Amino acid sequence: MSKTLLRQEQIIKSNYIDQYIYGIELKGPHEVDFEHPYEPKYHIITLILKGKVNCELNSTEKEFKHGQLLNIPTWSTIGHVRYSADFHGIMIIVNDEVLMDIFRNRTPFPPSFSYRFRRITNSPELLRKERKIIAGDMRNLIGVMGNKTHHYLEELAYAHFYILLTDIADTIWSRYGEGELDRSTGTSRSDSLLRDFLELVSAEAEHESGIDFYADTLCVSRQYLSMIVKKKIGISIGEFIANVRYEKAIKLIKDKKLTLQQIADRMNFSDQSAFGKFFKRHNGMSPQMYRKKLKKNLLTDHIPIEVPDVSRHR
């Protein structure tokens, strides 16, 4: 791996709670190139206030520009990250368990939000008002993490991160939401079926790929369920199920105790060849090649901007 280290003058502000949540606001160029695919251990959220970010995510070249939010979930792989010379952005890097605790146990967001938020997408450019609100949330979160004498610092950071997610959810709802929000659940009444579907896919997608299975289990027609998923999430139901199965395949491949044939059997593919074709469609490389590169990757504790190292400059 080769990288350009952050200079102290690039860091506007940074703080962290070790192994829990990190935050940094920075300006100027930065570059990280990984010799082998890097798997982030944390969910990374970046608000681009100026300039652009070019990165290779899951073997695909992406560009994110001024006013966009970039989300990189823990199941993804990163080839390189490059910030432009005029880059100015704020980054929050959070333990995935914190994120999932909010989605599972707190006042629920609309069910399509967690899916949209945890996927790598070119987000729509945020309005100036939206950028101001989200940037303020991020800066407040970074600020409270500096209060090291607070007896409930993790809870304080959790609360501020929840506020950040709520404002991000509001921007997504303004673009994709429909109907009236049910304030007791945080969802529109028409979302109940989608929520049940998402929970069912999460539980069953490892070995169930058929649309009819999900429609029959939920006691609705295949056509109606497909319409709801397409309307709420923006992609076909088949593509959604395949994406979730791919995420599960990534996790299984990381388990060195499982052979590729065992993974293919566990995921109900007809044979290892069928599994290989499915995986390559999503990843761009075969399961064998992907696993081989993972074995060579020794950067298990590295995160792209080395937040624990630069935070001492706050």
Does residue 309 form part of some domain? no
Does residue 302 form part of some domain? no
Question: Where does a domain end: 177, 211, 241?
Answer: 177
Q: Is 61 exposed, middle or buried (0-12, 13-18, 19+ CB in 10 A)?
A: exposed
Residue found by looking up tokens 């303020």 in the block: 136
Tell me the DSSP string of 146-191. Answer: T-TT-TTHHHHHHHHHHHHHHHHHHHHHHHH--S-EETTTTEEGGG
CA distances from 173 to 113, 147, 256 (A): 8, 33, 40
Average pLDDT over residues 222-228: 91
3-state helix, strand, coil in the chain (%, to 5): 45, 20, 30
Q: Tell me the per-residue pLDDT of 258-298, one tens digit each, with 9 for 90 and over.
A: 999 999 999 999 999 999 999 998 888 899 988 887 665 43
Same-domain pairing of 137 and 32: yes
Q: Which two tokens stand for residue 75?
A: 């199941």
3 state SS of 280: helix
Residue 7's pLDDT band (boundaries 50, 70, 90)? Answer: confident
Same-domain pairing of 116 and 239: no
Q: Is 234 exposed, middle or buried (0-12, 13-18, 19+ CB in 10 A)?
A: middle
Residue 36's pLDDT band (boundaries 50, 70, 90)? Answer: confident
Same-domain pairing of 167 and 223: no
Same-domain pairing of 11 and 147: yes
Q: What is the CA radius of gyration of the chain?
A: 20
Distance CA 85, CA 74 (A): 27
CATH number of 114's domain: 2.60.120.280
313 and 53 in contact (C-beta within 8 Å)?
no
Same-domain pairing of 84 and 34: yes
> Where in the sequence is the domain holding 45, given as residue range(s)?
2-177
- The confidence score (pLDDT) of residue 296 equals 52
Q: What average pLDDT is seen over the chain?
A: 82
Does residue 196 form part of some domain? yes
Same-domain pairing of 32 and 147: yes
Same-domain pairing of 168 and 24: yes
CA distances from 60 to 22, 79, 120, 308 (A): 26, 9, 11, 28
Does residue 161 form part of some domain? yes
3 state SS of 63: strand
Contacts of 90 (CB under 8 A, 6+ apart): 23, 24, 25, 46, 47, 49, 135, 138, 139, 142
164 and 33 in contact (C-beta within 8 Å)?
no
73 and 118 in contact (C-beta within 8 Å)?
yes
- The confidence score (pLDDT) of residue 184 equals 47
Average pLDDT over residues 102-122: 63
Residue 2's pLDDT band (boundaries 50, 70, 90)? Answer: very low
142 and 25 in contact (C-beta within 8 Å)?
yes
- The confidence score (pLDDT) of residue 268 equals 94
Distance CA 85, CA 204 (A): 46
Q: Tell me the per-residue pLDDT of 44-75, one tens digit each, with 9 for 90 and over.
A: 999 999 999 998 887 788 899 999 988 888 87
- The confidence score (pLDDT) of residue 278 equals 94
- Domains held by the chain: number: 2
Count of CA atoms in the C-beta half-sphere (13 A) of 116: 26
Distance CA 114, CA 108 (A): 10
Same-domain pairing of 168 and 211: no
Q: Could you tell me where the beta strands, DSSP code E, fall in the chain?
A: 2-4, 11-17, 21-27, 30-38, 42-50, 52-57, 60-65, 69-72, 78-83, 88-95, 181-182, 187-188
Residue 106's pLDDT band (boundaries 50, 70, 90)? Answer: low
Contacts of 152 (CB under 8 A, 6+ apart): none
Q: Tell me the per-residue pLDDT of 117-170, one tens digit each, with 9 for 90 and over.
A: 666 555 668 899 999 999 999 999 999 999 999 999 999 999 999 999 999 888
Checking if the pLDDT of 311 tops 50, the result is no
Q: Which two tokens stand for residue 238?
A: 């088949």
